[in-house]
Amino acid sequence: SPQPRAAMAARILHRLRHALAGEGGREEPAGGGGDPEDCPESSELEDDTEGLSTRLSGTLSFTSHEDEEDEEEEEDGASEELEEPPQAPGAAAGAEDGGKCWGGELGGLGALSTRRALTPVSRPGTEWGPAAERPGGSLLTRQLQELWRRSRGSLAPQRLLFEVTSASVVSERSSKYVLYTIYLIRSGQFDKAPAAIARRYSDFEQLNRRLRCRFGCDMAGVAFPRKRLRRNFTAETIAKRSRAFEQFLSHLHSIDEIRRSPEFLEFFFLPDLRAAQRLTCTGMYREALATWANAYRLQDRLGVCSSGRFLLTLAGLAVCHQELDQLGEAHGCCEQALQLLEAQGSHPLLGPFLQAHIHLAWKVGKDKRRSEVRLQDLREAGLPLQQQPSLKECLIKEPLE
């Protein structure tokens, strides 16, 4: 009869319009039934399509293992259950005045800025079997790419962005976990070199506990992903957790007291300072230099370039540059430190920096008279400069708790 035919034609036309608009990746029966397991890779994401389109700041591609799905993260204790964090007030990332969000390119960061790669990484003494892409993985990638394209023009203006650029499955002797690489990006500015950290779920969990102990009221509205019992290494879980960690850090950065707290700041740069100090002590100056440089960039992005940790970072850079016979760069680090110490009458690192600056200025043919005058003033004030440690000795002995 004409009526059923017209109804059928209307349904077909409706489906065709959705398919052409890129919105009909999966049809629902009229009765609202259907088994959610029919398309497990897409169903979880479609439940949160709006959240992904407004908050996801990159795309994800991955390779995975068929047997990873139900494994537990042994070193983290119980496995992780992801709790979808609500968009809390201020969660739109470090929200201060000025600046636009980066679109799809991060200047010198290249393809990493818009393509998130999830690749298995094996530590020494660990073997991996052949990798196979999980069925449905390409569908997930296409969905995320489409959502990213839609969301590029709708992201909130931010001053400092936190972007998970890669998530690597790391296998060690007794544990397996996901290591997230996060870039700190100043919106609206060109960063030739990225400031990056690599953290796992347990690192974020420890930061969350410490901040809740100290800032209970401020942390009440900050969402954090819970643990879950299975499916820790699926693309859906890692994509959602990546977005959740971006939101988590952005929300924390938007709260003044938390943003300035040692717990928050040292989460970013203290591991690098410790690693750089160890490398310097063992004479691995080239590796140490790269780590000191990343700690420098992290502190610069976070706006803590006048702290004692920053002076220690400049000392590390100066020592490593000098050991690598890069005297001009070492001299520049000393000059920057002395500018920061200009207003301070005394500081444990003032004498060592002055002595290093005078020595390096003589080597590179720069003016050293101002530093000599300041050093003479310290002698007349009764400072026993002969007993003062060198810049390298100060660096090695500094406790980094």
146/359: higher pLDDT: 359
To which H or E segment does residue 210 belong?
helix 201-214
DSSP3 helix / strand / coil % (the chain, rounded to 5): 50, 10, 35
Report which of 160, 166, 77, 71 is spatially closest to residue 113, judged by C-alpha positions.
Answer: 166
Indicate yes or no: pTM above 0.85: no
Q: List pLDDT tens digits, range 28-85.
A: 444 444 443 333 333 233 334 334 333 444 434 343 443 344 444 444 444 444 344 4
Query: Which residues of the chain does CATH 3.30.1520.10 include?
Result: 158-260
Residue 392 predicted with pLDDT over 70: yes
Query: What is the rounded distance in angstroms from the CA atom of residue 298 to the CA atom of residue 290?
Result: 12
Other beta carbons within 10 angstroms of residue 389's beta carbon come to 14
Residue 210 predicted with pLDDT over 80: yes
Query: What is the rounded distance in angstroms from the CA atom of residue 332 to the CA atom of residue 335?
Result: 5
Query: What is the rounded distance in angstroms from the CA atom of residue 400 to the CA atom of residue 272?
Result: 11
CATH 3.40.50.300 fits 266-400, yes or no: no
In the beta sheet, which residues pair with residue 169? 120, 178
Q: List pLDDT tens digits, range 344-361.
A: 767 899 999 999 999 999
Say which CATH topology domain 158-260 has.
Answer: PX Domain (3.30.1520)
Other beta carbons within 10 angstroms of residue 317's beta carbon come to 25
Cβ–Cβ under 8 Å, residues 201 and 193 = no
Q: Strand pairing of 176-186 and 160-171?
A: antiparallel
Query: Which residues of the chain does CATH 1.25.40.10 include?
Result: 266-400
Cβ–Cβ under 8 Å, residues 358 and 368 = yes
Query: What is the rounded distance in angstroms from the CA atom of residue 267 to the CA atom of residue 206?
Result: 9
The full DSSP string for 24-51 is -SS---TTS---GGGSHHHHHHHTTHHH
